[in-house]
Structure 1
Amino acid sequence: MHTKSLLNLLVIDDDQLYAERLVRLLSAYYDEVNLGFLDDKEELIKSLRHQWDVLVFGRAYDLSFTDVVGIIQEQGLDLPVIGLMSDEMAKTGRNGDGMPAVIDGTMVKALLAHKETQVIMAIRLQHANLRCRRQLQTLQHVISESELRADILIKNSKSAVAYIDQGIHIFANEPYLKLFNFESMEEVIGVPVIDLIANGDSVKEFKHFLRQFDKGSREQVEFNFESRRMDGSTFEAKLQLAAATLDGEPVTQIIIQQSGANSAEIAQRLAAAEREDSLTGLNNRRGFEERFEALCQSVSQQNATAGLLYIQLDNIGKISSSLGLQGVDTTIKKIADVLSDMLAHAHISRFSDTVFTVLIEKTITAEALKALAERIRQRIGETLIEVESRTTTTTASIGIVKIDSKASESQVLLERAVEAVSHIKVETSSRGDAIHMYDPSEHASSDDTALAEYLISAITNHYFEVLFQPIYDVNNDRSDFFEVYLRLPLNDADNTVLTPHQFMMVAKKHDLREKIDRWLLINACKQLNHVRKTYPETRLLIQLSSASLLDKKLVNVASQLIKAVGGAPGALTLQFREEDVVNHLTVAKSQFAALNSVNCQISINNFGTSVKSIKVAEFVQPDLARLGRDYVENIDKAENLDTLKSLIEKTNELNIDVLMPYIEEAATMSVAWSVGARYLQGYYFEEPSKTINVV
């Protein structure tokens, strides 16, 4: 059966006869060729409302090749582009051998216009590649839907199921966590599966078993062994392997079942462990949530009041770097003891690795809640924590939520407590050591809606501003690397300018983060393209949200933008928060590898703030690590300096360059040269500006 072949061809040029000649030549290969012809920006934007298969760019009244690529990316289109040029322009658009500067499945830059055979071949190949991508997208959608159904089944399964990648845990469901006494998903991520095997001989056998499976052998998919929990206790177990996918990436699924154990005894032990944190003896998250739900119902029924304190320890990443996991565990236990001593009549839980929650189950005023939180903050800050022969301290950021009969449901109240801590981090530039009470009047839904509408308008009408701050390269003694900052000016009497911290929560709620990230990428690269004509070594570092980390189209967007600005490796570095990378470890690893393959480099921001920073970096292999603020503060103290040097040394051993930011004064600058960081940045060098100023 013959399928009619159709090509929708869009030509941007000032010579319509040339475009019609292309159509005549292409008619030998297609049943029908639909031609769109234009030569200015306004017509292009209107025309892109229709679906095109290939765009050929020659000459236009008010458009450059880079402008066209930027507009296509703004529209989020997968549209192959072919750039044409005349003989006199060939020197700038072709390499030393006279070949086009870029040839791949989405762009050819640039062909000589009069070489019609090459142009026709390029159009045909780009169209064939596009058809394959469209078919692949359809298949990926089918796979994604299947994976979603499988994930739902696994999360609701009573069997202990986990996913591993290269022998490392990257996901586990609730029964799996309970079986091995893990408190949360964060605890199991990064743990080698062989750590759960008690016998040394079994470890060797399992490694062989896993290698055979990874090579494609399915003769043996079950493995019997003695398993070990985190508390050291053991049990006989059977492990089953299966190939699976997680977030679209291939992984290995493991299912572990206990063998020969009394089911009633197991159920009793699991039930007891479900609500207790093994490290502190306090209730864990599940125990807290059950108590919190009951408290909210009681407050509503009795027309009473109560309080929630969300206590996040600030510098655990730094303690982990200097004192290791023993230092972290000792700190957590010490703070748990402090809270238990201060709050004998309150309900205290270890909510997550570095967060405690406190429920005040009695009628209490807002002022009394704030006073209590302030006493807790001071007490934690004054507490000396002994780790073997060393002493450390920590501080806390405390979010406060008052609960009354008109309050929202428990999940919303918990989100408000988290939002209060986020407010502290923004106000203190991530230093913390403060309290903040959530005020519902400051977060009215009407305000959120208004801001969301303004964000949409800002994307469409380019209200955003882009700032650039130079980064000094110690190795090469130059400052042609710039970090990009996004700002949103408001049309109010105070000339308010919002930072991403102030509008990204609303953007997330209204699914605008990807569009904002895309706007930032395109417009920053437009300025980069202009500057690189004079300073071809200029590079950008651009912070993106977790939405872009999960965006499968990001690689294509980055690839086209890099080609449009010259295609040099390292011209563009994309940066993601360490917290987002940890939460999406497998996706991050795959995304980073794909971005590296198109000459895009990767940076992890706020590096060193999690317990497993080095392990995470080793797993996902970024090019750059931008340190968290904790490591730069109080650098004049010998202990802090040693911690910083140790972290940088470990990072450099992984062939990852380190960026030391927040250098604001001469004293910090004098020490910064000696710590081993390749890049230095801060207001001491230069403040962010609206233009890229290469010195």
Structure 2
Amino acid sequence: MSYALDNLRLLIAHDSQDEAEQLMNALRNAGRATRAQLALGEDDLVRALKGGAWELMLCRPTFGDSSFESVMSHLNRLGKAIPVILLEDNFTPDTIKAGMSLGARGVVPNDDRDLLSLMVDRVIEFLRLRKELQHSEIVRHDAEKRLSLLMDQSRDAIAYVLDGMHIHANDNYVEMFGYESADDLAGVPIMDMVSASDHAKLKQLLRSRAQDESQTHELECKGVNTEGSEFDATFTFSASTYDGEACTQIVIRAAGVDENEMAERLQEMSQKDQVTGLFSRSWFMDRVDESVAQAANEGRLSTVLYLRLDDFEHHQSGLGLDGADDILKSVAEWLRAEVGEAHLARVDGEDFAVLQPVADMDEAAELAETLRAGIETLMPEVAAKTVHVTASVGVSFVREDARSSQETLTTALKCCNQAQRENAGKGNAVKVHDPMDDVAAGSSEAVAMQVRQALEQGAFNLRYQPLMSLEDEADHAFEVFVNLPQKQGEAMEAKEFMPVAADQGLVGKIDRWVVLNAMRAAAAFSEPVSLVLNLNGASLADATLADWLGKAMRAAKMDGSRVTFQFSEGDAATYLKQAGAFAEKVKALGCGISISRFGGGLDPFKLFQHIPATMVKFEGSFTQELSKAEGRERLTSIIKQVKEGNRKTVVGFVESAAQMQALWTLGGVDYLQGYYLQAPMDKLEIPDAA
């Protein structure tokens, strides 16, 4: 399994907030998406370490009342395996040696941004390899469990030998040589199992194995038990591992064994996962192969659902491997009961797959959502704790034109990966594959052509999502979004086509199309409404935009007090001077200014020194962290600071009653927005609940 860090969670321990912001901007400019937090002293550091899950830390030798040495001490005390890069002023062999000896993953000069970027890339690669190693260890652990079960159930006598000494044996081997238990046999030399007359042959075989342990060797000899009785035996020596250590496996085949029966038993054992009792990936792939053939011959549509438990590493670190196995067993038992006659397998560490005939894509999507929602409410009891488990689900299809089982499963896996990136990277979502996804993802030229055609033909689609006012029921405000309709499947979202449009220099034209058509719709609406109109960074750099907006508002007969222009915190920081100048011009038109995705930077409040914002929309992760006390405290604090400038506040991504209740009682929130309240609508209308 391959792991990727799409958004780096970065903790910066620094003595200068300005320099820390420069560090973060340098990493972003180098293509590293980051979410950072700054620790200016000891209290900040401890709070951040206890309250966040960090992937990398940048640290100055001293910062406030703390130091690099204190950082490493806290990491050890709290059991945090966070790699630390030391930003050293005095970059010498001695300081490098001192930093590395204290546990730094790397040491770089404080003023060398290029070297820092390279070092961060290397640490990220280290993190990726560490995650893959952890996954491999889990797979190995599972394989050893399977092997141990097979060994215990085998009719053959089997033992493991290291450096000529026994380290483990099954009951048949122990009984064959007259020992009472495997513990009594531990440490006994293999030479004691063979008649003295055959010692020379055994020594020769062991010398041969020392030269090439990968080969399998057989020794026909006289075995000898603890009473000195000899018997005919054939010892088979082969390379193996036991408890993670390379060793030699010895098998003495039992007489009168039915080879066909044993082959069937081995085949069955190889196809079953010993932790969950579900079938293995190889068995599942055979079933998908059969489904591909049925689709080609009979036109039968089937779906493959790829389910992955979210944040499973957290459960492993908190409950241990055995506790994590208990979670897998609980989920497997529930899935087995839920999917009935559908084919079900455990295909990887925390990954399950379902193969089910369906009538259409909607039925597959409903099944995926049912499984996702069911797992979310499962709440298994593990080690006297109630564990909250969620899963992300990717959905692909075995159609008449399906090429292979591997392609079908890979497509489902890719959709599962996309689902895991939803909800601020927390997953618990469903992604259904659409054939148009392949075209959109594979051809920027095709997307650019669609964008140009949409501009020429006015073929974009506007969607309106209400902002629910907590103070005035008569305040009907809507944020405006744009998508690109497709001939087949769902419309292409802005996040998919805007990067291509930006490369082609078309973003500004799209923004103007959205503004003009949204204002026309609002002006024609039966009741007064307010609009929040999103602008991209490229539009902020257009010095002619503000004047054009004034003309467009007059043409649409739209009052400036009912229009708020919104751009992201990242674009505001990148185009700071242009954003400030634009804001002053539209403010003169009576319009409001909103900054979206607010709170992701180290000190977003600095933007207010340059941009007269009248509203902010907080970054989505704040909503996701409302279930944690520290998350609520952090949002309360940032709301308080925002409100000091008499600015309106918007909290989006409200997806549950619990989140809504928490925000309702939080204080300082002016508007709520999210799918729980109302999904974006294709036309401007006031929802019944508004």
Radius of gyration: which is bigger? 2
TM-score by length of 2: 0.42
Q: Which structure has the higher relative contact order (CA within 8 Å, separation 6+)? A: 1
